[in-house]
Amino acid sequence: METDGVVVRQVDGSRIPTLGKAAVEVQVGRTTHMVKAIFTEMKYPGILGMDFLLPTGGTLDFQSKEWRLNGERIKCTGRAGGSFKNYSDSIRP
């Protein structure tokens, strides 16, 4: 794992301490793809983004809350594995 020159910033611009980066094989459902991953201390197990979605042809269907990947439908879940809460329902104008 490479440890030099790895910088990750949060939305507010503050730095997130990193442990390093490496090429790793990630499997989601039946699809496996090599990803350049950055390792850091996080509250969540990990984040897959455009670096995974684009080369694998994956799409997110927000209406059905599914991740579609190579013909497979993978249900999206919340942090604790339960269904997502629609936060906009709790916002009152």
> DSSP letter string over 29-82?
TTEEEEEEEEEE--SSS----HHHHHHHT-EEETTTTEEEETTEEEE---TTSS
- pLDDT tens, residue by residue, 38-75: 888 777 666 677 777 888 888 888 888 888 888 899 88
- Asked whether residue 3 is assigned to any structural domain, the reply reads no
Inside any domain, residue 52: yes
82 falls within a domain: yes
With tokens 């440890």, the residue in question is 3
Query: Per the domain annotation, does 16 fall within a domain?
Result: yes
Residue 57 counted as domain residue: yes
In a domain, 2, yes or no: no
Q: What is the band of 25 on the pLDDT scale with cuts at 50, 70, 90?
A: very high
pTM of the predicted model over 0.85: no
- How many domains, in total, are found in the chain? 1
Are 17 and 9 in contact by the 8 Å Cβ rule? The answer is no
Residue 1 lies in a domain: no
Q: What are phi and psi of 91, to 5 degrees?
A: -95, 125
